[in-house]
């Protein structure tokens, strides 16, 4: 979602504001430009996804 969202925000910003919102999109390319290695990026995004899944399941099963 972050990958697609950053790309969509970038496209809308360029179209309507005539400027870039982010230095580079999608988000993982920004992290690579900052010096992060690809396995580190993948692992961090997987962990964030797992946290959001757990949070979503907690909300879904609350009474």
Question: Is the pTM here over 0.85, yes or no?
Answer: no
In our burial notation (b when 16+ CB lie closer than 10 A, e otherwise), range 4-36 reads eebeeebeeeeeeeeeeeeeebbbbbebeeeee
pLDDT of res. 37:
95
Number of domains in the chain: 1
Range of the domain at 50: 2-60
Q: What percent of the chain has pLDDT over 90?
A: 59
What residues of the chain score a pLDDT lower than 50?
Answer: none
């Amino acid at each position: 979602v972050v990958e697609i969202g950053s790309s969509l925000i970038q496209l809308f910003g360029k179209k309507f504001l005539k400027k870039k919102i982010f230095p580079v999109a999608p988000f993982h390319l920004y992290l690579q430009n900052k010096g992060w290695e690809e396995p580190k990026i993948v692992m961090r995004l997987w962990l964030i996804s797992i946290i959001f899944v757990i949070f979503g399941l907690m909300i879904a099963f609350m009474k």
